[in-house]
């Protein structure tokens, strides 16, 4: 089954709900980055969240990035999405693995660590980007994002993100949902939503059982009359290119570039997101240096 995100609203304007299935996308990320189960869960939850956040963007040229930088051994977890459902991400230390927690679950909170920041950047392409930040609460990512929405964007939200790793370390199921409580929401509606959320199974188990995002929506929003507004196909893909890498080389400055030419005579750049390697020989580096002279 293809990965996609649905966006829905109830007929009384209480809640807006986004539900995603991201199993293929997260499994592709695992294959690219060769992540351990704990790192797969951390990266997969972050990818799932940003995939949903991408579908919230209004402008086609906008991108959104979600970064968690905690004090744990994973280092930085970063994922980026656009409104067209194109998503990419990486984790600084993909080989970090921790023992399971006492409840048998992967210790994502321990791997991400607390004492750090959640950062959301929305880049509009032309205008200054919007940057929002809040503290990491548990490192489990869903709680951290819900906390971010309340404190940084004054948008009360419920967030669930789940990644189920198979015995062979491939991804068995991944997905999530974000529920935004709208300003006109009634107390009655909130009570109903709370009762639904208290009873619902973890989102990764629902996806493993074959539930579609539409099925999950029905469960989460039991008792609400939901209207599905749109459905976006999503996939893991990278937009790196030779031109971008050239720009990155020029951006390090004349002095550094000169040093590389003199000391190494070549340069190899690796894209963090997809691990694609870009090689530049001496002649190419010299012409980049000359190009940077003109600016
Ligand atoms: Zn790339």
Equal fold, 4-236 vs 242-294: no
For ligand 1, a single-atom ion, which residues have Cβ within 5 Å?
238, 240, 271, 273-274, 276
What one-character-per-residue DSSP string does 190-250 give? HHHHHHHHHHPPPHHHHHHTT--HHHHHHHHTTTS-EEEEEEEE-EE-----HHHHHHHHH
Angstrom distance (rounded) from CA 116 to CA 68? 7
Asked if 5 contacts 85 with a C-beta cutoff of 8 angstroms, the reply is yes
Residue 60 confidence (pLDDT): 85
Two tokens, residue 88: 């990419």
For residue 179, the 8-state DSSP code is E
Asked if 122 contacts 130 with a C-beta cutoff of 8 angstroms, the reply is yes
209 alpha carbon – ligand 1 mean position (Å): 33
275 alpha carbon – ligand 1 mean position (Å): 6
**Residue 254's pLDDT band (cuts 50, 70, 90):** confident
241 alpha carbon – ligand 1 mean position (Å): 7
Write out pLDDT tens, residues 197-208. Answer: 999 999 999 999
> Which has more confidence, 21 or 60?
21
Angstrom distance (rounded) from CA 225 to CA 110? 39
Instruction: Answer whether residue 74 shows pLDDT above 80.
Output: yes
Report how far apart the first and last C-alpha atoms of the chain are (Å, whole number).
49
pLDDT, mean of residues 253-270: 91
pLDDT, mean of residues 33-61: 96
Instruction: Answer whether residue 294 shows pLDDT above 70.
Output: no
Write out pLDDT tens, residues 102-129. Answer: 999 999 999 999 999 999 999 987 788 9
Residue 124 confidence (pLDDT): 87
SS3 86: strand
Q: What is the 3-state secondary structure (H, E, C) of 131-146?
A: EEEEECCCCCCHHHHH
CATH (one of 3.40.50.2020, 3.40.50.720, 3.30.830.10, 3.90.1280.10) for 242-294:
3.90.1280.10
Which pairs with CB-CB distance under 8 Å and at least 24 residues apart come from 214-218? 214/6, 214/19, 216/19, 216/175, 216/177, 217/6, 217/8, 217/17, 217/19, 217/177
Residue 206 confidence (pLDDT): 98
Instruction: Answer whether residue 8 shows pLDDT above 80.
Output: yes
Residue 125 confidence (pLDDT): 79
Asked if 106 contacts 74 with a C-beta cutoff of 8 angstroms, the reply is no
139 alpha carbon – ligand 1 mean position (Å): 26
Picking from 236, 198, 193, 234, the residue whose alpha carbon sits closest to that of residue 217 is 193
271 alpha carbon – ligand 1 mean position (Å): 5
Residue 85 confidence (pLDDT): 96
What topology does CATH give the domain 4-236? Answer: Hsp33 domain (3.55.30)
Instruction: Answer whether residue 86 shows pLDDT above 80.
Output: yes
166 alpha carbon – ligand 1 mean position (Å): 26
126 alpha carbon – ligand 1 mean position (Å): 22
Going from N- to C-terminal start, the domains of the chain cover: 4-236, 242-294
Query: Average pLDDT over the chain, rounded to whole?
Result: 95
High-pLDDT (> 70) share of the chain, %:
99
């Amino acid at each position: 089954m293809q990965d996609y995100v649905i966006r829905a609203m109830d007929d009384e304007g209480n809640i807006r709900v986004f539900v995603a299935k991201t199993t293929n996308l997260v499994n592709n990320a695992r294959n690219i980055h060769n992540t351990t189960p704990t790192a797969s869960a951390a990266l997969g939850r972050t990818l799932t969240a940003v995939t949903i956040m991408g579908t919230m963007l209004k402008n086609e040229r906008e991108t959104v990035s979600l970064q968690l930088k905690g004090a744990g051994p994973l280092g930085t977890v970063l994922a980026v999405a656009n409104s067209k459902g194109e998503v990419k991400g990486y984790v600084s230390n993909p080989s970090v693995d921790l023992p399971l927690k006492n409840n048998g679950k992967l210790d994502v909170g321990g791997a991400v660590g607390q004492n750090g920041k959640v950062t959301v950047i929305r880049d509009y392409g032309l205008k200054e980007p919007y940057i929002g930040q809040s503290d990491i609460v548990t490192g489990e990512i869903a709680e951290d994002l819900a906390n971010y929405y309340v404190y940084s964007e004054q948008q009360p939200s419920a967030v669930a993100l789940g990644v189920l790793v198979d015995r062979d370390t491939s991804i068995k199921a991944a997905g999530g949902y974000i529920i935004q409580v709208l300003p006109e929401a009634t107390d009655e509606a909130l009570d109903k939503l709370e009762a639904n959320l208290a009873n619902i199974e973890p989102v990764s188990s629902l996806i493993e059982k074959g539930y579609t995002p539409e099925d999950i929506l029905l469960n989460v929003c039991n008792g609400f009359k939901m209207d599905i507004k749109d459905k976006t196909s999503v996939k893991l893909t990278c937009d790196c290119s030779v031109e971008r890498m050239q720009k990155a080389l020029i951006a390090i400055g004349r002095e550094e570039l000169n040093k590389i030419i003199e000391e190494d005579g070549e340069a190899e750049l690796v894209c963090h997101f997809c691990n694609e390697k870009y090689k530049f020989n001496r002649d190419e580096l010299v012409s980049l240096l000359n190009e940077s002279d003109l600016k």
